[in-house]
Chain A
Amino acid sequence: MTTHPTPTLISQYASGAAGVDDTTVWAVEAHLETCAACRAVLTDAVDPDTRNLLDRVADAIATGVATGPRPVRRRRLLRSGVAARVLPWLFTATGLMLAAALFEWTFDSLPSLVLLVAPVAPLLPVAAVWSRRLDPAWELTATMPRTGLPPLMRRTLGVLSAVLPVLAVAGWFTGHSPGLWLLPVLGFTAGTLALGTVVGVDRAALALTVAWSAGVVVPSLVDRQLPPILAGDSLPGWALTTVALTAVVLVRARRRPNEPHPNLLHR
């Protein structure tokens, strides 16, 4: 329980606290900070000159606040530079998809190039946003508390939001079911992030791209037909894989919050 200081003590405090020991002054001061009633007593206790002065200061500050320049409006943090750096890779991905769509439209006899290329289309830009070679400030990024999965997810979502509309146009243009291109894209992106926590995002993206090209794209171009894993029956499998890989990424992020490191210096 706090006991309030006596009005006499407060008026002594207000008039300079002559004859009151330091400990008492501190106690009164500490009490005044938390007690509005005693502050009101203090206001009455101070001499009129001081009160005048305080009033004038308060007025001046209020006028200053009202008439002065307004605080700078908080701009959204512009991270256009990051986007611009990835731009060439986004263009590459877009160009690839458009070329695939055009190719598919021109040559009926070939299996759908859009479906074959779509899964790996976002991987190159995703690698570009989290790579030691392509991020000039990687050494700084590596020392930040806000590192690891959250910023990588942000950047990946940025890439996906740029690549997916292009894919949607290409998919609509060639008349494929959205699930057939959307799910593989998400699956491969999640796979890159999951593998990226082990070997680095850029290497993971490269490895998956090469594996998909060599294992699926080239054989199906040779056979001139789509592989079974790009047929309608495989949709549940893709969905399951995507969910599982995303879970792997989240679990790993929780266990080792500093991964994926933007570089592999200590490996």
Chain B
Amino acid sequence: MRTVSLAETASSTYAWPVHAEKLQVRAGRHLAVDELDMRLGTGVHGLLGPNGAGKTTLMRALATVVKASGGRLTVLGGEVTGNADLRQVRRGLGYLPQHFGFYPRFTVREFVEYIAWLKEMPKAAIPGAVQRAVERVGLADRADTRMKTLSGGMLRRAGIAQAIVNDPAVLLLDEPTVGLDPEQRLDFRELLREIGLDSCVLVSTHLVEDVAVACSDVVLISEGRLVWQGTAGQLAEQGGAGDAGDSATERGYSAVLRAYRGRVSA
């Protein structure tokens, strides 16, 4: 019988896995995220926005790669804006960067094992967790091939495997569907829904159709500010027949963005 640890049954001491208040993050000199207020609960959230809206910078701030230059950011109940020890927060994070760097001579299994070790998982749990992560992304048959021989889509899936290996409570995926073929994309959406049942998943993408199908909530940002937040269904309702786009969600997206631009310039 498995022993349930105290940590597993402890009630969480925070209301939102991700909570940003007037968050400011710089990318170089440029203020890429500006006074952003956002609260994310359990579920799959799609982060949408035009190019240069600050999606990647926001993801990096949530993943604790960059420090915020102003405001407050709380991830899993731990404040990550100050000089606090981020260990506890980071153990609960999974992150796939937009530019997924890897060690070409490692096999997929070695790489995911290495990441699991860096994530301070218990030594005995690593081999099982690695196998499970690799199977969940459908790379089990290529687990022992070197990463330099993998195709773009396979690399992306290896990247997702390393992000989910520790069963993160907050999973951040920056452009995860780039390079996936249609069938893999379907599998990926299924995986997202599964993970979103009990953790907070934030998927940054510029593909509106991914959001419409796989995400329960949509966060729309532009020029570093939160423009709109709601369910995917609500976003679809925002669009009228006159808006640009091929699907209801796309029309809703352009309608919300156009309304926001109108407000800003007014």
Chain A interface (Cβ < 8 Å from any Cβ of B): 33, 72, 74, 77-82, 84-85, 135-147, 151, 256-258, 263, 265-266
* Given A81-B103, A145-B118, 13 other A-B residues pairs in contact with their CB atoms under 8 A: A77-B113, A79-B114, A81-B104, A81-B105, A84-B105, A136-B103, A140-B118, A140-B162, A145-B87, A145-B90, A146-B118, A146-B119, A147-B90
Q: Which residue of B lies closest to A79 (CB)?
A: B114
Q: Are A257 and B97 in contact (CB under 8 A)?
A: no
> Out of A85, A151, A257, which one reaches B103, CB within 8 Å?
A85
Residues of B within 8 A of A140 (CB): 95, 97, 100-101, 115, 118, 162
Q: How far is the CB of A129 from chain B (nearest CB, A)?
A: 12
Q: Are B91 and A145 in contact (CB under 8 A)?
A: yes
Q: Are B90 and A143 in contact (CB under 8 A)?
A: yes
Q: Are B119 and A145 in contact (CB under 8 A)?
A: yes
Q: How far is the CB of A130 from chain B (nearest CB, A)?
A: 14
Q: Which of B75-128 contact A (CB under 8 A)?
A: 83, 85-88, 90-91, 93, 95, 97, 99-106, 110, 113-115, 117-120, 127
Q: How far is the CB of B4 from chain A (nearest CB, A)?
A: 12
Q: Which residue of A lies closest to B69 (CB)?
A: A266
Residues of B within 8 A of A266 (CB): 26, 66-67, 69
Query: Is B264's beta carbon under 8 Å from chain A?
Result: no
Q: How far is the CB of B66 from chain A (nearest CB, A)?
A: 5
Residues of A within 8 A of B115 (CB): 140, 144
The CA of A144 and the CA of B219, in the complex, are separated in Å by: 26
Given contacts A136-B101, A140-B95, A257-B85, contact A147 B65 (CB under 8 A): no
The CA of A78 and the CA of B114, in the complex, are separated in Å by: 8
Q: Which residue of A lies closest to B26 (CB)?
A: A266
Can you list 18 A-B pairs, Cβ within 8 angstroms, ordered by A?
Answer: A78-B106, A135-B101, A136-B103, A137-B103, A139-B99, A139-B101, A141-B118, A142-B64, A142-B65, A143-B95, A145-B91, A146-B119, A147-B90, A147-B118, A256-B83, A266-B26, A266-B66, A266-B67
Given contacts A72-B127, A77-B114, A256-B83, contact A144 B102 (CB under 8 A): no
Q: Which residue of B lies closest to A33 (CB)?
A: B1
Query: Is B63's beta carbon under 8 Å from chain A?
Result: yes
Q: Are A258 and B102 in contact (CB under 8 A)?
A: no
Q: Are A74 and B127 in contact (CB under 8 A)?
A: yes
Residues of B within 8 A of A72 (CB): 127
Residues of A within 8 A of B95 (CB): 140, 143
Residues of B within 8 A of A256 (CB): 83
Contact with A along B180-193 (1 / 0, CB 8 A): 00000000000000
Residues of A within 8 A of B102 (CB): 136-137
Q: Are A258 and B101 in contact (CB under 8 A)?
A: no
Q: How far is the CB of B3 from chain A (nearest CB, A)?
A: 11
The CA of A104 and the CA of B225, in the complex, are separated in Å by: 64
Q: How far is the CB of B160 from chain A (nearest CB, A)?
A: 13
Q: Which of B145-202 contact A (CB under 8 A)?
A: 162
Q: How far is the CB of A39 from chain B (nearest CB, A)?
A: 13
Q: Considering the complex of A and B, which 4 residue pairs feature the smallest CB-CB distances, nearest first?
A: A136-B101, A81-B103, A81-B105, A144-B118
The CA of A140 and the CA of B166, in the complex, are separated in Å by: 14
Q: Are A144 and B105 in contact (CB under 8 A)?
A: no
Residues of A within 8 A of B93 (CB): 143
The CA of A141 and the CA of B113, in the complex, are separated in Å by: 13
Residues of A within 8 A of B117 (CB): 77, 146
Q: Are A144 and B103 in contact (CB under 8 A)?
A: no
Given contacts A84-B105, A138-B101, A257-B85, contact A143 B65 (CB under 8 A): yes
The CA of A136 and the CA of B114, in the complex, are separated in Å by: 14
Residues of B within 8 A of A81 (CB): 103-106, 110
The CA of A15 and the CA of B113, in the complex, are separated in Å by: 47
Residues of B within 8 A of A257 (CB): 85, 87
Residues of A within 8 A of B83 (CB): 256, 258
Residue with the greatest number of chain B CB neighbours at <10 A, chosen from A145, A146, A265: A145
Q: Are A77 and B127 in contact (CB under 8 A)?
A: no
Q: Which residue of B lies closest to A85 (CB)?
A: B103
Q: How far is the CB of A86 from chain B (nearest CB, A)?
A: 11
Q: Are B86 and A265 in contact (CB under 8 A)?
A: no
